[in-house]
Structure 1
Amino acid sequence: MTTNPTAHTIRLGANRTGLELRMFTREKEAVFFTFLLPIVLLALFSVVFGDSFAAGGDEAGVSAARYFLPAMVASGVILTSFQSTALSVAMERDDGLLKRLRSTPMPPSSFFLGKVGLVVVTSATQTLVLLAVARLAFGVPLPQDAEHWLTFAWVLLLGVAGGTVLGIAFSSVASARSAGAVVIGPVLLLQFISGVYFPYSQIPTWLQQVAAVFPLKWVAQGMRSVFLPDDFASLESAGAWEHGRTAVVLLLWFIGGLVVCLRTFRWFKRGTT
């Protein structure tokens, strides 16, 4: 009986996903800084700022939990996709794991399916927990119509897809020793200027322009359009939610990251063969 190569690759990818999840849960630091941190920060901001949080301008204030929920969802996307993937692949390359995997009969695509599966499961779980905490613990109203949830779905999908391929691509410029500074540093900086920790409208204009080059700003803006009142669109740099531009920017980052992955991915540490 002939085995279908595609089905075999997918089955191995599913098995690899299970292994990736088990390895991820054993790394307590990774679990906290990529999975639990946005949840902890949402709870912290909600308690510190309370029920009345004004983002500026004439718009009516909303609770801190409601205001920071889209920011924490966006932060979770970049942490579970870009940061987690870049760190893990860089470390696995330096440890020689990728070299050993490359010499096994497992198709390379199954390895990447495992990474994608890990990101999908952790991102979906983290987002569900964030929504549950916001709704049950702090009474944040969630969208009641299909249009908002559709926007939520495509922003999340494009954010996770782009973050994952960019993480794999970025891993080629990092090593196990330098990964913390090379990966975490830029991610932390982008969170500060992309409207995650501060209201985006209160960030200097030139920093807004810098943030607009990168995908995190657009994921955060897309999520704000889902969970915040429509009046808050006036606080964006263009005075609107810009769904079309958001989709184009995130799609371009995904395509660009995919091209870079295909051209630069290395199974071996520099200086080895």
Structure 2
Amino acid sequence: MTPVLTAVRSGLARGGIELRQTFTTAQDLWTYFFPTAILLVVMFFTRDVSVPGTSFSLGSRTLPSAIGMGVAFGGLVNVAQQLIVEREDGTLLRAKAVPNGMLGYLIGKIVLISGITVVSTTLQLVPGLFLVDGLTVTSLTSWLTLAWVLALGLVATMPIGAIIGSLFDNPRNMGLIMLPIMGLVASSGIFYPITNFPAWLQGVAQVFPIYWLGLGMRSALLPENLSAVEIGQSWRHLETLGVLGIWAVVGLVVAPVVLRRMARRESGSSVAARREKALQRVA
């Protein structure tokens, strides 16, 4: 067995172990269920509010948009957070010390984040089907669209999340990551049709993957006539594929370079220095 294949198998096993651990940890489970509960409550109370210009429920429109937002958060925020935390506690340094350890480490994170995202999507979608009406989940096309948007969304966002995580070495700096991402969520039409926003804001939102993930999920789960409230009165599948594909290519090209440089800078002294700073903050 080649060293690379050994690292791949090790990464897959590592990801499976971390998935089991996170799904048996009360604190982690709370972070999955609490946001989902809040979302479902919002959808329930907005089920009788109509999307402007239609008689369709705003709560029903929010569900697929929020699922797309969740995929973006999984790829961008969760990956970055994992890297930042595990740089501080020395996990990344230990992975670096093993032959092909970084490859196994990254494969493990891909398995972990992908698994968490799929479970989170299921936790939102299944109860939502019983709380809101009008979702188109009975056709094969809907499920295929949901699958390719989910898969491409993870490929487009996880490398970017890794790049972001490599730029920070302190978990307390997560606020610097969350603030701009929350700004993008607010401007990406997740909770309200983007066509009601100023044209310049619509243009900014369309540069980033959060808007396209929301649009792609809406195209999978909402009736065809709801595309009338979207930009161009269309689900724009080709544009969704193109923009997410560009982000995926850029991320897959840049992320390995950035991660290699980050790994080269990791040393026992740098980990010890970060630990000392963390202890001083606690004290």
- TM-score normalised per structure 2: 0.85
Opposite residue 131 of structure 1, the aligned amino acid is: L
Q: Which runs of 5+ in 1 are unaligned?
A: none
Decide whether aligned partners of structure 1 residues 126 and 142 sit closer, same or farther in structure 2, where only a CA change above 3 A counts.
Answer: farther
* 2:18 is the alignment partner of 1:20: yes
Judging changes above 3 Å, is the alpha-carbon distance between structure 1 residues 149 and 22 closer, same or farther for their aligned structure 2 residues?
A: closer
Alignment pair present for 1:247 and 2:241: yes
CA contact (8 A) 1:163 1:254 kept: yes
Cα distance change of structure 1 residues 109 and 175 upon mapping to structure 2, 3 Å threshold: same
Quick one: distance in 1 between partners of 2:139 and 2:114? 24
- Shift, 1:187, TM fit: 1.8
Q: Mark the CA change 1:29 to 1:236 in structure 2 (over 3 Å): closer, same or farther.
A: farther
1:212 counterpart residue number: 206
Instruction: Give the alignment's Cα RMSD to 1 decimal.
Output: 2.4
* 1:122 CA displacement: 0.8
Asked if structure 2 preserves the Cα contact closer than 8 Å seen for 1:80 and 1:119, the reply is: yes
Query: Alpha-carbon deviation of 1:206?
Result: 1.8
Q: Between Structure 1 and Structure 2, which shows a larger proportion of helix residues?
A: 2
Checking the alignment, whether the CA contact within 8 Å between 1:75 and 1:216 is kept in structure 2 is yes
Gaps of 5+ in 2: 272-283
Change (3 A) 1:26 1:79: farther
Residues 1:196 and 2:193 are matched in the alignment: no
**Structure 1 residues 256 and 146: CA distance shift in structure 2, 3 A:** same
Partners of 1:38 and 1:76 within 8 A in 2: no
What is the rounded CA distance, in whole Å, between the counterparts of 1:152 and 1:211 in structure 2? 21
- Label 1:179 to 1:24 Cα distance change in 2 as closer, same or farther (>3 A): farther
**What is residue 156 of structure 1 aligned with on the other side?**
150
Q: Does 1:61 align with 2:59?
A: no
- Counting only pairs closer than 5 Å after superposition, residues 165-204 of structure 1 correspond to structure 2 as 165-204=159-198
CA–CA distance in structure 2, aligned partners of residues 177 and 92 of structure 1: 9
Count residues in correspondence.
Answer: 267
Structure-1 separation of matches of 2:181 and 2:30: 16
- State how 1:89-238 maps to structure 2 within 5 Å: 89-105=83-99, 107-138=101-132, 141-238=135-232
The CA distance in 2 between the partners of 1:83 and 1:32, in whole Å, is: 17
